[in-house]
Amino acid sequence: MTYRPKPPARKTARRPLWSRTFGRLSVFAVALLAAVVTTAPAHAGITLTDVKGRTVTLEAAATRLVIDDGRIITALSYLAPDPIALVAGWPHDIDRLGREQYEAYRLKFPAIDSLSLTNSSSEDMAVEQVIAARPDLVVLSLYSRVAEQQLAQLEEAGIPAIYVDFVLDPLGNSDASFAVLGQAIGRSAQSAQMIAFRKAHLAAIDSRLAQSPSSLTPRVFLEAHAAVSEPCCNTPGTGNFGKVIDRLKARNIGDILKGRPFGQINIEYVIASKPEVYIASGGAYMATRGGLLIGPSFDRSTTEDSLRALLARPGFSALPAVVSGRVHGLAKQLFEPGMDILALEIMAKWLHPELFSDLDVEATRQSLNRMAAIPLVGTYWTE
């Protein structure tokens, strides 16, 4: 037998420790990633809470909204450079949005005229009309006439809905409404900027008011949609700008309309209440109603003539506000989303002139204009 020596064992190079460790970690990472991909949902979604406290989940940021009030466009204008591009359908309620504002939107965003027509908050919702606009979100006002059954129909069609409020309680609900809108359209940074602006200005007003004696509560008559040709007198109740008057430590004579944002009071009650400050609201929409004409479409003399005509109505000449000359005009558009802060400051100067003599309301307007897609230009209040 021939002896054959056993070949020497082949030596295998040992991988460095860092290499072996990295390899094990790589295998673990791949396994972990596979598990995440397998278990992660297709859409992370956006979960938000509206002003009614309803929890609503969106698959993604909404890009096609149906709104039930044109004033919501104003709110969107502080959140997006082209608010009209976010709207799939609206009520075409031009007077709510403001005629001057509407024309400004038409000039900059002509697509506004081609948007689908849907019902307003003052009408019953036509669900088929909403679905036909192909929205991915419906934005409803807190005072909308929408039944739970209609919300269920929207849900069955895969269309979520949220509630906002810039009208019933503008100071109390606007921040939450801006927040939920910003979250819904993927513009939370912009809504946070708007909310911070509002909080800072409200805090400054509140701080100054805290310095005034509690006895300084002037009686105020704010006549909404003031007109010669219509019965006197429309006024905010305990809602809407009645809450703004309360915030300004003044007495709203319309507070007898308890639980109502607006209502009617008679001239006899107005006279008996002896208001020390009178504020009329109006705008271009009042041209055919003998009302206050104020806004960029009118010069100062036209506005003053229309205000004098209102004061010439029976009973007005004897009001303490008229006797002392504390009479003012305010465009309705300043009651709208975002602009209520400007109106608050203007009214603060009127109601407490000594306390707010140095308040620069024009600077506030310019700050708002820098955030808005459509700036507010022209005369919207009387001095």
In this structure, of 132-136, 168-172, 173-177, 270-274, the range with the lowest mean pLDDT score is 168-172
Q: Are 341 and 202 within 8 A, CB to CB?
A: yes
| Contact yes or no for 166/244 (Cβ under 8 A) | no
Encode the chain in three state secondary structure: CCCCCCCCCCCCCCCCHHHHHHHHHHHHHHHHHHHHHHHCCCCCCEEEECCCCCEEEECCCCCCEEECCCHHHHHHHCCCCCHHHHEEEECCCHHHHCHHHHHHHHHHCHHHHHCEECCCCCCCCCHHHHHHCCCCEEEEECCCCCCHHHHHHHHHCCCCEEEECCCCCHHHHHHHHHHHHHHHCCCHHHHHHHHHHHHHHHHHHHHHHCCCCCCCCCEEEEECCCECCCCCCEEECCCCHHHHHHHCCCEEHHHHCCCCCEEECCHHHHHHHCCCEEEEEECHHHCCCCECCCCCCCCHHHHHHHHHHHHCCCCHHHCHHHHHCCEEEEEHHHHCCCCHHHHHHHHHHHHCCCCCCCCCHHHHHHHHHHHCCCCCCCCCECC
Q: Per-residue pLDDT for 39 more than 60?
A: no
* Residue 216 resides in a domain: yes
Which residues are within 8 A (CB) of 230 and not within 5 positions of it... i.e. 6 or more apart?
289, 290, 291
Mean pLDDT of 236-265: 89
Q: What is the mean pLDDT of residues 61-68?
A: 98
pLDDT surpassing 60 at residue 20: no
Neighbour-count burial for 65-89, b at 16+ CB within 10 Å, e otherwise: bbbbbbbbbbbbbbbbeebbebbbb
Range of the domain at 288: 212-371
**259: in domain:** yes
Torsion angles phi and psi, residue 11, rounded to 5: -90, 130
Asked, for residue 218, whether it belongs to a domain, the answer is: yes
Is residue 217 located within the same domain as residue 75?
Answer: no
226 touches 285 (CB < 8 A)? no
334's tokens = 């300043």
Q: What is the mean pLDDT of residues 203-211?
A: 94
Q: Is position 35 within any domain?
A: no
Statement: residue 19 has pLDDT above 80: no
Are 158 and 291 found together in one domain? no
Q: Are residues 300 and 323 in the same domain?
A: yes
Residue 29 within a domain = no
Residues 185 and 295 in one domain: no
Q: Decide if 19 is inside a domain.
A: no
What pLDDT score does 239 carry? 81
Looking at the structure, do residues 136 and 245 belong to the same domain, yes or no? no
User: Do 68 and 203 reside in the same domain of the chain?
Assistant: yes
Confirm whether 255 is domain-assigned. yes
13-27, 214-228, 289-303: which range is least confident on average? 13-27
Domain boundary among the residues 207, 234, 257 is at 207
CA-CA distance, 137 to 19, in Å (whole number)? 53
Arithmetic mean of pLDDT, 10-29:
40
CATH classification at residue 261? 3.40.50.1980
Question: Do residues 199 and 274 share a domain?
Answer: no
Last residue of a domain, which of 183, 207, 231?
Answer: 207
**Across 149-158, average pLDDT:** 96
Residues 58, 188 share a domain: yes
* Span between the terminal Cα atoms of the chain, in Å: 125
Q: Are residues 190 and 64 in the same domain?
A: yes
pLDDT digits (tens, 9 = 90+) for 104-122: 999 999 999 999 999 999 8
Final residue before a domain boundary, out of 167, 190, 207:
207
* Residues 119 and 135 placed together within one structural domain of the fold: yes
Structural domain count of the chain? 2
Percent of the chain topping pLDDT 70: 88
Here the tokens at position 191 are 């809504």
Same domain, 101 and 190: yes
Judgement on whether residues 121 and 258 belong to the same structural domain of the protein: no
Q: How confident is the model at residue 44 (pLDDT cuts 50, 70, 90)?
A: low
pLDDT tens column, 272-320? 999 999 999 999 999 999 999 999 989 999 999 999 999 999 999 999 9
Predicted model pTM: 0.85
In which residue are the tokens 């509630």 written? 163
Average pLDDT over residues 212-216: 74
Maximum Cα–Cα distance across the chain: 140
Rounded Cα gap, residues 149 and 159, in angstroms: 14
Residue 332: what pLDDT? 92
Mean pLDDT of 317-342: 95
Rounded CA-CA distance 61/3 in Å is 82
Q: Is position 343 within any domain? A: yes
- Which pLDDT does position 240 carry in this prediction? 84
What mean pLDDT value characterizes the chain? 88
CB 312 within 8 A of CB 290: no
- Would you say residue 36 has pLDDT above 80? no
